[in-house]
Homo-oligomer: A and B are copies of this chain.
């Protein structure tokens, strides 16, 4: 049983970026009415270009079973929640092509996530209700998807 914990940048740093407000903005713009928190994600594309798509995903509920993880060798992938729906973020380290040391997080209000290029991760799982997400990832030809199906599905339990 994998127990998800609240997402934090410190624990997630090996896998990607938590896109969230810093303590203070890098710059005040618009006559002081707006804080710019600058350049919070490592967008990394082997080729092609960055694009913005929308993912419209059905609700999942904890506890749940996770049958596979996947990775995108050609580019990073960022998820920005538009509908306010928290989502389950499963990530794993890589051991010569096999995902190991699997970890589960749940996003907190105001957090978006950027998965670094090539990081094993679970599919998009909005928790509790349908979720709409803006996705910033690589647009281009070629196979940018590798899947790893588990022999036995992972059980992901309720939150810590």
Interface residues of A (CB under 8 A from B): 19-21, 25, 29-31, 33-41, 43, 49-58, 60, 78, 80-84, 110, 112, 114, 123-124, 132, 134-136, 139
Q: How far is the CA of A101 from the CA of B77 in the complex (A)?
A: 38
Question: In the complex, are the beta carbons of B34 and A53 less than 8 A apart?
Answer: no
If over half of A's interface residues share one DSSP class (helix, strand or loop), that class is named, otherwise mixed; here it is strand
Name A56's contact: one of B21, B49, B139 (CB within 8 Å). Answer: B21
B54 x A19 contact (CB < 8 A): yes
The answer to whether residues A34 and B21 also contact, given A52-B40, A82-B82, A136-B52 and a CB cut-off of 8 A, is no
Name the B residues within 8 Å of A82 (CB-CB). 80-82, 84, 110, 112
**Beta-carbon contact of B134 and A33 below 8 Å:** no
Q: List chain B residues, Cβ under 8 A from A78.
A: 52
Q: Are B50 and A136 in contact (CB under 8 A)?
A: yes
